[in-house]
Structure 1
């Protein structure tokens, strides 16, 4: 039987390609004198193996939908830069950093802490000079609290929380640039105090031409040149190789979807801190695809857990992994919480490995197996 042949290779540490993926196992089987299962059968068998799907390397680089803005202050990215190592000399533990996605104009405000009240105070100071229509941040509690929510409500600002691995990527890039500038200054001047010159560093950043906006400085972006800058950012001619690559990406996407609605999948740990059991790259918990759609010709998916509760966020194909769970598949129990007797049957309340307490359930003791 094909599955027995695959298992005899995969399960034996002394065999070539033991615990490897489909291609390696297929090659070993091709070079052996035994039955040679087709590679799709090997892939299908591996989808049933928890150890394989949990530890499969997760891709970090793949085509993502882009943020497209049409004008200045349409959307800001905001984040906190951690400066706790220099707090004693500067009186600030964090920097509240904001960047206008269209003009790349930066705003920075030192914070004593990252409480909601302090963050709201910093945002209010930024809004004195300009106010965006939308703000994007990560899911940190510093942006998800009553003080900040109320500020956004009063000022009629839409708050979008980025749930994917990249998060608010424009401001995260700015954070890195800002820290490099600060540390270079500190090393040059043999000091640990930067807050006195922070406004000058930010002003220098805003006065420096940016390649991404046609070598215009952020402070010089205005109503008179915004149309030209928008055209440069989104309509500029691409090199032939880049255009060809883009066309190939779109053509691949137009083949539509790799996965079906209702299909069981694991989700990448790089996106969200799900419960980990070992050092797995994918969720131990299994989810079900509930919806699929396209954004900028890129396939995206929505999922629900096995109780039907929706998982937040849209997921790219590279962030989900299909698995095969047949009817008689075993589900690992982390702990038996208690037992009871009903209708002459002993039942166990069990906590399932990799699942939250909401999944705790009663099962007949006769169905519990020791492996």
Structure 2
């Protein structure tokens, strides 16, 4: 599984010699992170997550649904720093393969080192991991991170050009309904019709007839030739005649 967000990570608690490790891996670059922590209490895990966030600035984190990640302290923190958090469904292992493989790799290196488990040892192993060519991506995670950053800059420039060419104030649009994570169903659109009232970089400002205002990604909007509506109950939009921008083709 890859992500269209370069700062999307998978997170887990692994154990070595009955001691917990907060482990995290970037879905795209495979940059790894691990921190030896004294226990798995909520405050301890939160402190470790804050240290990771300060270093890597994630935008999306996927974890299992263990209480270590689903408790109120962690959830409140994710909301505060605007991190989108997904939890993996019980028994669904395919979506967490990257963090599971990363955990195995770190444990193998700990085993081969034969050294006493310390924070310094873990940090050294992570530095070595991030500087070693990854068999799947064909480069080191550190190299891949630079490649992904450049790719994101190129994508953002292209997206900005598309937004400038496609969107105008006064157009009417509907917005995409949220899907379940990992869902494969086709896109579904809301019944509410909004007017484009502003363009702010990569975000489109839209407003309903009764003043409900949203900021949306261009990928989450579809043009329609309908009058704007009041914000209210939302449903499924089915339209045959609509303009589909090149952004979505």
- Calculate the TM-score normalised by the size of structure 2: 0.56
Provide the rounded CA distance (Å) in 2 between the counterparts of 1:296 and 1:206. Answer: 36
Provide the rounded CA distance (Å) in 2 between the counterparts of 1:128 and 1:226. Answer: 18
Cα shift readout 1:51-105 (whole Å, capped 9, x = no counterpart): xxxxxxxxxxxxxxxx3312421x10000111244xxxxxxx2000000101000
Contact 2:6 2:148 in 1 (8 A): no
Q: How does 1:1-371 map to 2 (within 5 A)?
A: 67-73=1-7, 75-85=8-18, 93-163=19-89, 164-166=91-93, 168-186=96-114, 191-213=115-137, 215-224=138-147, 295=184
How far did 1:165 drift? Answer: 2.9
Q: Which runs of 5+ in 1 are unaligned?
A: 1-66, 86-92, 230-293, 298-371
How far did 1:226 drift? Answer: 5.3
Contact 1:182 1:194 in 2 (8 A): no
How far did 1:228 drift? Answer: 7.0
Q: Which runs of 5+ in 2 are unaligned?
A: 153-182, 187-249
Cα shift readout 1:274-298 (whole Å, capped 9, x = no counterpart): xxxxxxxxxxxxxxxxxxxx7289x
Cα shift readout 1:230-284 (whole Å, capped 9, x = no counterpart): xxxxxxxxxxxxxxxxxxxxxxxxxxxxxxxxxxxxxxxxxxxxxxxxxxxxxxx
SS across alignment from 1:143: helix
Alignment: residue pair count? 155
Computing the radius of gyration over CA atoms, which structure comes out larger, 1 or 2? 1
- Calculate the TM-score normalised by the size of structure 1: 0.39
CA RMSD in angstroms, aligned pairs only? 2.5
- Call closer, same or farther: CA 1:96–1:71 in 2, change over 3 Å: same
How far did 1:162 drift? Answer: 0.6
Contact 1:71 1:226 in 2 (8 A): no
- Call closer, same or farther: CA 1:185–1:223 in 2, change over 3 Å: closer
Contact 1:139 1:162 in 2 (8 A): yes
SS across alignment from 1:197: helix
Provide the rounded CA distance (Å) in 2 between the counterparts of 1:296 and 1:201. Answer: 41
Provide the rounded CA distance (Å) in 2 between the counterparts of 1:105 and 1:145. Answer: 26
